Amino acid sequence: MKISFRGLLAVALSALLLAGCSVQPGIVERQPDVDPQRLLQQAEQQQPGQAALSRLEAADILARQGNRTQALEVAKEIDDARLDRQPRIRWALLLSQLGAEAEDPWAVIQAGQLLDEMNLPREASLTLRERLGMALAEVDEFRAAARALIQVQAGTDREDLNDPIWDQLSRLDSGSLATLRNEGGDLAEGWVALAELVRASGGDIQRLFARLDNWRERYRGHPAARRLPGEITALRELRGQEVTHIAVFLPESGPLDSIAGAIREGIRIHHLEGVDSGARLTFIDSSQGNLDALYREASELGAQVVIGPLNKDAVSELERRDRVPLPTLALNYGRGERNQALGLFQYGLSAEDEARQAAHRAWIDGHRLASLLVPDNDWGRRVGEAFWNAWRDLGGEVANAVRYNPEASATESTRRAVTNPQPDMLFLLALPEYARQVPPTLDYYYSGDLPIYATSHLFEGRPQPRLDHDLDDVLFVDIPWQIPDAAVGGVEALPYLDSYRRLREESDPAMFRLMAMGVDAYELARRLPQLQAISGSELFGATGTLSPAEDGRIQRRLPWARFVNGVPQPVLTPGVFGDDRAP
């Protein structure tokens, strides 16, 4: 897969490298431009080395003429191994600049691989590595992104990189942080220590700042010691607002009782594991009382924030209000297009979130023509529409959208999804029994190489190689607690490990995701003041990396896995990480 990124110095730097002198961008003396199209035609008849040079010159001219889309396509197709040292550096800088401008991270990563193949001049190396770091962040390779940006900072001491570096560190699990510490030098060690310090505070801002002075003393001279990342600085304003009492609105009877019970168990167990530093919990039965009565009871008991309600109608009622009586983390999403209530956050295990993430991943992997295979019911309609809308917003096209009968064989529906016209990827929403039929059907219709992007619903949550081997090469998202090897490199690196072990031992596998949701609901509730005050706040949790949208709806970013020999395995970036199975 070819790869893309950001920066404005490519033309100036390439001229500097070729001319050996310092110049300003835009005033480099050049030969008069020739017709780039003629150069491209000539390249078809030339030997490989000369053809690569002709295409590079054509791409450069196209870029300077403002035809940057064609310039990018030409630059991506150049066989850079045929270029000599200086033209190859010029190619990498041009491609990375064009890719950044076009928001094509894979093009930047393609150019950035030159960093591992030759020693570049200092300025060219720093420029290319910075662009590479930003591009890796766009494809969710946060550890590699952090490593690249820290390397740039080590060579420049630039404080303006503090926030981009912190953005990547905030997304890393404990295992990835430990690996980054081992890979880097003193600068990386300081960054990792800061990330671990903030994470260990668990939302206790007073404790965080009491320990921050010790970190600064130990890492005196560190760029973050001179200027803390903006997110940490903003926490100063929240000292004294820590959450010490949470009311939980969950039904103890009725149709949602079993779901509520699993969420309640996750909250309860996680609270017990961290009781010394946690908040007080008060559970209030929401099956009978109206919302206003529930809030009055919570206020009279001294609660500062609320978890719940779970019922979708109740959440929809709350989101239509101007504000809620207490800061609230609802455990479902309302039916409105936007949440307008001040102080209301909404969180759940939304399949629509997973569909939108699948669309984003397929797009950055280079696919443009998708087919959809979703069940013919309300669930399939909602999730299918979420993928469709996200895909079209990105600029993708839809070849076929097929709704299938979950009780029937997958053969005919799969055939219709991948023929006339044939797509370059398939989005699949299915439960395990149906999903396992799809790849063999694709093989039968000579579409076995078609990439499949799926939601978490095709995985039952425990390794079953004999059953799941038919899903080999299918890509899917799931919560970290369900795919620890793929998500974080093993169980030991999971967030809230003690709670995970307790709940995994005691749980019904069908309810485990809901228990994990309860764990994250508790952690989000403790951080509601932070989520209200600081845009961009994130929580690396049991159910993914969680962050509020502008209207307070919590969005989940999930790790990707691929079935290999029937077992979920990590999905890595090709070339850069040595995984030739990556898309």
Whole-number CA gyration radius for the chain: 26
Q: Is 582 a domain residue?
A: no
96-124 tens-digit pLDDT: 999 999 999 999 999 999 999 999 999 99
Q: Which of 211, 240, 269 is the last residue of a domain?
A: 240
Q: Does residue 396 share a domain with residue 453?
A: yes
pLDDT at 530 (0 to 100): 82
* Other beta carbons within 10 Å of 550: 8
Q: Which of 74, 104, 139 is the last residue of a domain?
A: 139
How far apart, in Å, are the Cα atoms of 435 and each of 324, 406, 460? 42, 10, 11
pLDDT at 24 (0 to 100): 33
Whether residue 491 is predicted with pLDDT greater than 80 in this model: the reply is yes
Q: How much is the pLDDT for 6?
A: 32
Asked if 383 and 457 sit in the same domain, the reply is: yes
Question: What torsion, rounded to 10 degrees, do the Cα atoms 107, 113, 119, 122 define?
Answer: 40
Do 344 and 360 lie in a common domain?
no
Q: Are residues 343 and 359 in the same domain?
A: no
pLDDT for 18 equals 33
Are residues 190 and 290 located together in one domain of the fold? no
Is there a single domain that holds both residue 249 and residue 228?
A: no
Q: Let me know if residue 564 belongs to a domain.
A: no
Whether the bond into 421 is cis, omega within 30 of 0: yes
Same domain, 316 and 361: no
Look at 337 and 94; give whichever has higher pLDDT. 94
Q: Note whether 363 and 380 are within 8 A (CB).
A: no
Is residue 499 in a domain? no
Measured distance CA(378)–CA(478) in Å, rounded: 22
Number of structural domains the chain divides into: 4
* Residue 316 Ramachandran class (φ > 0 left, ψ -120 to 50 alpha, else beta): alpha
Q: Compute φ and ψ for 168, nearest 5 degrees.
A: -75, -45
What confidence tier does 508 reach under pLDDT thresholds 50, 70, 90?
A: confident
pLDDT > 50? residue 21: no
Is residue 123 a part of any domain in this protein? Answer: yes
Can you give the CATH number for the domain in which 192 is found?
A: 1.25.40.650
Same domain, 220 and 271: no
- Long-range pairs for 26-33 at CB < 8 Å and ≥24 separation? 33/61, 33/64, 33/65
pLDDT tens sequence across 191-236: 999 998 888 776 677 778 888 989 999 999 999 999 999 888 888 7
Q: In Å, how far from its chain's centre is CA 248? A: 29
Do 281 and 217 lie in one domain? The reply is no
pLDDT of residue 17: 33
- Whether residues 287 and 227 share a domain: the answer is no
Whole domain around residue 472: which residue ranges? Answer: 352-478
Are 110 and 184 members of one domain? no
Q: What is the mean pLDDT of the chain?
A: 88
Domain at 518, CATH number: 3.40.50.2300
Does residue 10 lie in a domain region?
no
pLDDT at 583 over 50: no
405 assigned to some structural domain: yes
Amino acid at 326: L
- Do 424 and 373 sit in the same domain of this protein? yes
Per-residue pLDDT band for 3 (boundaries 50, 70, 90) equals very low
Quick one: pLDDT band at residue 446, thresholds 50, 70, 90? Answer: confident
Least confident of 410-424, 521-535, 541-555: 521-535
Question: How distant, in Å, are the alpha carbons of 42, 52, 61, 78, 84 from that of 45?
Answer: 6, 11, 20, 15, 20
What's the pTM? 0.77
CA distances from 565 to 168, 406, 582 (A): 31, 25, 15
Structural contact between residues 170 and 195, judged by C-beta atoms closer than 8 angstroms: yes
Is residue 184 over pLDDT 90?
no
Q: In what order do the strands lie in the sheet with 452-454?
A: 397-404, 369-375, 425-428, 452-454, 475-477, 560-564, 567-570
Name the more confident of 159 and 578. Answer: 159
Given 88, 104, 139, which residue is the final one in a domain? 139
Q: Is residue 12 part of a domain?
A: no
Q: Is there a domain that residue 381 lies in?
A: yes
